[in-house]
Chains A and B, each alone.
Chain A
Amino acid sequence: MGMDFKLTEEQIQIRDIARKFAVQEIAPLAAEIDESSKFNWPLHKKMGELGLIGMTVPEEMGGGGLDTLSWCLVIEEIAKASTAVSNYLTLSESMLNYISHLGSEDQREKYLAPIIDGELVCSFAMTEPNAGSDAGAIQATAKLEGDHYVLNGQKMFITMALQAGLFVVVANVNPGLGKDGIRTFLVPKNTPGLSLGKQLDLMGIRGTEAAPVYLEDCRIPKENLLGSADGFENVMKGMDGPGRLGAASQALGLAEAAFDAAMAYAQERSQFGRVIYTFQDIKFILAEMSTEIEAARGLICKAAWRRDHGLSYTKETSQAKLFAGKMCVRQVSNAMQILGGYSYSKEYPMERFYRDAKIHQIWDGTDQVQKIIIAKELLKEMK
């Protein structure tokens, strides 16, 4: 048996727990979270209690010790109910991955448990007004003064910044070195010199409370350096977690939610004396939607499977993220076409789906950045 597309009994159990939780606890709140644009602490804590945060962190560090595929299945289910809430999980898992891989024993001891329990949100302060995927262009600085690093700089689009108790800050210890000067630091929210800007009024994924983060002579003990002084590779290694696959799974879940709504509507709605599903134009759209959704699922599962089997998964992850993001935007748009006017009213979730979709071609590396990564990996394979 070379290939096996079956999920294990445990993967099914885990997916079903997430599915039930998403349907019963998240879906009824999704519109409100979107409208108020507020982070939902009770949901976040409940997800912590359930064990949905830190699923891929090793058991001996207090995590779930689960495989990447199980985690992707969970993200997909949660994203069907709310993209914003699924992002609580994706971001937390990425940060946990950072700290569990690069953190000292003290840092792990101090921060892993509260994040896993859903008591503490950790945000990733990397992006700047002039640096996103190009981490080498980061202008924030960290100057070593005695036993402290002094951080200065401005961070932009920092997801969940307003609720974070802890930040992983990316800064340069020696701008003259370019990307080789890049390091990561753990900065608690209450550190003097760290301040937050106004919440960004986002088009979609509302409820993630993103804001700019300002660092002005922000002094942190030098023990707060995250990871050894390996420089840029450090940042890259930390980013090599499951986060990007989570982003792809979010896109998949959202596309599925749109498909489910369109499929149900197409069988209910009658025009010209017949159910609209019987029109070839409508059923062809749905057939294509389901095909592309399945293709995205295949790419995600394969990348997750490679990660779980200790194989390289950088190219596959970027392929999954690229395809799933584009697919999501395309298919939510198709679903809107089927629902017609009802998709354009704020009384129904489809318009939220449409606003939530576009981010999947932008965050965690735009489509163009994913292509750069894929092309780079292709070249490596040639050598």
Chain B
Amino acid sequence: MNIMVCIKQVLDNASVPKLDPATGRVVTEGVETIANPFDLNALEGALRLTDVHGGEVSVITVGNEECKTVLKLGLAMGAAHAYLVKAPDGQEQDSWSVSYLLSRAITSLGPFDLVLCGKQAIDDDSAQVGGSIARLLNMTQVTYVEEIQEVSSESITVKRAGNSGSEIIAARLPALLTCEKSLGEPRYPTLKRTRMANRVDIPALDCTEIGADPDRAGALVKVQMVYAPEPRQRGELLRGEPEEITRLAVARLVEQKII
């Protein structure tokens, strides 16, 4: 099996994001980053498949040189290849442009039997990139995959989280899966593989190398403003006899047009 896993570098969820009032953006400088946790579940799922069926796992991300950190982690966990897709200078990225760049890169590096993504990134939670890549590659897609049940050279059977319960779906390969946490607790990177990953020269591919049109590789969504929600007001404590406070509470709710 030849599997590509898409990984996004996100801000460490252990830190509380801060907003820069001047730019209206989340401050990224000096903040620790991690690999998007769902992407690591996807990688674990991919590695388990190749552990059993043979083949290779590759990892890919879109970003700058610093994003090589998540690719190195992918290599240290067991991926055989890693690729950085360089976003064109001066272009903002959104779900569309990242999907476009990844789909071009996957085409030029492929073929792959499977493309795996996390079900969503924990920073913008948009859950669009997986589906968009599948659409751009005209590939079968199954989202919110909880378990991979069977794989043959032509098809895959998975259990997915549907709206009204779990669904068992058989899909023709090549396919793209977006993965839930239950796909597998990411394995520890070994010390040897960590060192090996540090020594690997990870290729950084630009638009020309992956056959992408630089003019299409920018964001379609313009972010006007990012703001933090107002801090919640402290509630009001009503004291007194039950009958009296019930009357008061109802009056307040009517006042606030809640009932």
| A, B co-complexed | yes
Binding site for B on A (CB under 8 A): 9-10, 13-14, 17, 20-21, 49-52, 55, 64-66
Q: Once the chains are docked, how many angstroms separate the CA of A66 from the CA of B190?
A: 13
Nearest-neighbour CB distance to chain B for A222, whole angstroms, equals: 36
B-side contacts of A10, CB under 8 Å:
194-195, 198
**Cβ–Cβ contact B191 & A9, under 8 A:** no
**Cβ–Cβ contact B191 & A14, under 8 A:** yes
Can you list 25 pairs linking A and B with CB atoms under 8 Å apart?
A: A9-B198, A10-B194, A10-B198, A13-B76, A13-B189, A13-B198, A14-B194, A17-B189, A17-B191, A17-B194, A20-B188, A21-B188, A49-B190, A50-B188, A50-B190, A50-B191, A51-B190, A51-B191, A51-B192, A52-B191, A55-B191, A64-B191, A64-B192, A64-B195, A65-B195
Q: Once the chains are docked, how many angstroms separate the CA of A52 from the CA of B189?
A: 11
A-side contacts of B190, CB under 8 Å:
49-51
Secondary structure class of chain A's binding surface, majority of residues = helix
A-side contacts of B189, CB under 8 Å:
13, 17
A-side contacts of B198, CB under 8 Å:
9-10, 13
Q: Once the chains are docked, how many angstroms separate the CA of A17 from the CA of B194?
A: 10
B-side contacts of A51, CB under 8 Å:
190-192
Digitize B124-168: 1 where CB-to-A-CB distance is under 8 Å, 0 elsewhere: 000000000000000000000000000000000000000000000
A-side contacts of B195, CB under 8 Å:
10, 64-66
Given contacts A13-B189, A13-B194, 17 further A-B contacts (CB under 8 A): A9-B198, A10-B195, A10-B198, A13-B76, A14-B191, A17-B189, A17-B191, A20-B188, A21-B188, A49-B190, A50-B188, A51-B190, A51-B191, A52-B191, A55-B191, A64-B195, A66-B191
B-side contacts of A17, CB under 8 Å:
188-189, 191, 194
Nearest-neighbour CB distance to chain B for A8, whole angstroms, equals: 10
Q: Once the chains are docked, how many angstroms separate the CA of A10 from the CA of B192?
A: 11
Please provide the chain B residues from 21 to 38 with a CB less than 8 Å away from any CB of chain A in the complex: none
Nearest-neighbour CB distance to chain A for B181, whole angstroms, equals: 15
Please provide the chain B residues from 174 to 202 with a CB less than 8 Å away from any CB of chain A in the complex: 188-192, 194-195, 198
Nearest-neighbour CB distance to chain B for A299, whole angstroms, equals: 25
Binding site for A on B (CB under 8 A): 76, 188-192, 194-195, 198
A-B pairs with beta carbons under 8 A, tally:
31
Nearest-neighbour CB distance to chain B for A200, whole angstroms, equals: 32
B-side contacts of A49, CB under 8 Å:
190
Nearest-neighbour CB distance to chain B for A182, whole angstroms, equals: 35
B-side contacts of A9, CB under 8 Å:
198
Q: Which A-B residue pairs are the 7 nearest by beta carbons?
A: A51-B191, A51-B190, A51-B192, A13-B194, A50-B190, A64-B191, A50-B188
Q: Once the chains are docked, how many angstroms separate the CA of A32 from the CA of B155?
A: 45
Nearest-neighbour CB distance to chain B for A18, whole angstroms, equals: 9
Question: What residue in chain B is nearest A66 (Cβ atoms)?
Answer: B191
Q: Once the chains are docked, how many angstroms separate the CA of A21 from the CA of B188?
A: 8
Q: Once the chains are docked, how many angstroms separate the CA of A17 from the CA of B192?
A: 12
Nearest-neighbour CB distance to chain A for B19, whole angstroms, equals: 28
Q: Once the chains are docked, how many angstroms separate the CA of A190 from the CA of B194?
A: 37
Question: What residue in chain B is nearest A9 (Cβ atoms)?
Answer: B198
Nearest-neighbour CB distance to chain B for A290, whole angstroms, equals: 22
Question: What residue in chain A is nearest B185 (Cβ atoms)?
Answer: A24
Nearest-neighbour CB distance to chain B for A234, whole angstroms, equals: 30
Q: Once the chains are docked, how many angstroms separate the CA of A14 from the CA of B190?
A: 9
Question: What residue in chain B is nearest A13 (Cβ atoms)?
Answer: B194
Nearest-neighbour CB distance to chain B for A177, whole angstroms, equals: 43
Q: Once the chains are docked, how many angstroms separate the CA of A21 from the CA of B189?
A: 10
Q: Once the chains are docked, how many angstroms separate the CA of A10 from the CA of B198?
A: 8
B-side contacts of A13, CB under 8 Å:
76, 189, 194, 198
A-side contacts of B192, CB under 8 Å:
51, 64
Nearest-neighbour CB distance to chain B for A77, whole angstroms, equals: 13
Q: Once the chains are docked, how many angstroms separate the CA of A49 from the CA of B76?
A: 13
Question: What residue in chain A is nearest B198 (Cβ atoms)?
Answer: A10
Question: What residue in chain B is nearest A10 (Cβ atoms)?
Answer: B198
Question: What residue in chain B is nearest A46 (Cβ atoms)?
Answer: B188
B-side contacts of A66, CB under 8 Å:
191, 195
Q: Which of B188, B191, B195 has the most CB of A within 10 A?
A: B191
Q: Once the chains are docked, how many angstroms separate the CA of A91 from the CA of B76?
A: 27
Question: What residue in chain A is nearest B189 (Cβ atoms)?
Answer: A17
Q: Which of A9, A14, A20, A51 has the most CB of B within 10 A?
A: A51
Q: Which of A13, A49, A55 has the most CB of B within 10 A?
A: A13
Nearest-neighbour CB distance to chain B for A164, whole angstroms, equals: 24
A-side contacts of B191, CB under 8 Å:
14, 17, 50-52, 55, 64, 66
Q: Once the chains are docked, how many angstroms separate the CA of A55 from the CA of B192?
A: 9
A-side contacts of B194, CB under 8 Å:
10, 13-14, 17
Q: Which of B76, B190, B192 has the most CB of A within 10 A?
A: B192
Nearest-neighbour CB distance to chain A for B189, whole angstroms, equals: 6
Q: Once the chains are docked, how many angstroms separate the CA of A51 from the CA of B188?
A: 11
Q: Once the chains are docked, how many angstroms separate the CA of A52 from the CA of B188?
A: 12
Nearest-neighbour CB distance to chain A for B41, whole angstroms, equals: 15
Q: Which of A9, A50, A52, A55 has the most CB of B within 10 A?
A: A50
B-side contacts of A20, CB under 8 Å:
188
A-side contacts of B188, CB under 8 Å:
17, 20-21, 50
Nearest-neighbour CB distance to chain B for A195, whole angstroms, equals: 37
Q: Once the chains are docked, how many angstroms separate the CA of A152 from the CA of B177?
A: 65
Nearest-neighbour CB distance to chain B for A371, whole angstroms, equals: 35
